Amino acid sequence: MNDRTSESIVILTGAGISKESGLSTFRDADGLWARVRIEDVATPEAFARDPEAVLGFYNARRAKLAGGGIAPNAAHEALARLEADWPGPVLVVTQNIDDLHERAGSRNLIHMHGELLKIRCLACHEIIAWRDDITTATACPHCAETGGLRPHVVWFGEMPLQMEAIAAALDACGLFISIGTSGNVYPAAGFVQQVRGRAHTLELNLEPSEGATLFAESDYGPATGIVPRAVERILSEGW
């Protein structure tokens, strides 16, 4: 292993990293999209058509996350350890809207699909930390307007957040790790193509993702086992 300690690491995470914390994934047999249709709860058109149904879908997920029974797991904690102990920059780009990376101690973090514990006001455009339900009757705590509050979550057909910062980090990294994502949703599913050939690429997942063949290295199993193991190896040997 040559000296890589000045190189940067970018880690993409998906719903699989939070599964063992008790949160559902989307496309597993018991996933969210096996229970509700994306078209009914996760598009701007759905929100325009039936705002209460969309707000109710996210209210239930927010209540579960904020309710106290959900905690970061060993995989989230291992990534926080990697950021703390790796000499070069470490960035977590998560597709997840939970707050488990933050609660595990990750600081350099981008939520490209937004955050469940924040809401956005369509009247004043403020983004507000929020742990309770919202309905069309809820008044914006910033401008007092009602009827314009939505989850600060990126729906299908909307642009993910901070894409320029993500692209710059991908262009600079020496190691790209993908954890707990099925590789079904772009642009996240395309990140590996952007870095392969220049950076080392590692997939850590329960099973091979749609993009599995694009990775130079992979390990499969539950995240709480394979992620801490990969982090210890990177810290002791690099890649």
Provide the binding-site residues for ligand APR, judged by CB under 6 A: 14-16, 19-20, 25-28, 31, 95, 113, 180-182, 184-185, 205-207, 209, 222-223
Per DSSP, 32 falls in state: G
**Residues annotated as catalytic (active site), given as ranges:** 113
Residue 124 CB coordination number (10 Å): 13
Q: Measured from the CB atom, is 148 or 222 closer to ligand APR?
A: 222
Residues 177, 168, 187, 220, Cα dihedral to 10°: 0
Minimum gap (Å) between residue 105 Cβ and ligand APR: 20
- Answer left, alpha or beta for residue 183, where phi above 0 means left and psi between -120 and 50 means alpha: left
Helix 74-85 to helix 223-237 angle (10° resolution) is 20
Q: Measured from the CB atom, is 52 or 210 closer to ligand APR?
A: 210
Minimum gap (Å) between residue 222 Cβ and ligand APR: 4
228 neighbors 74 (Cβ within 8 angstroms): yes
Minimum gap (Å) between residue 27 Cβ and ligand APR: 4
Q: Measured from the CB atom, is 135 or 184 closer to ligand APR?
A: 184
Minimum gap (Å) between residue 6 Cβ and ligand APR: 30
Q: Measured from the CB atom, is 222 or 238 closer to ligand APR?
A: 222
Report the C-alpha gap between 134 and 6 in whole angstroms. Answer: 45
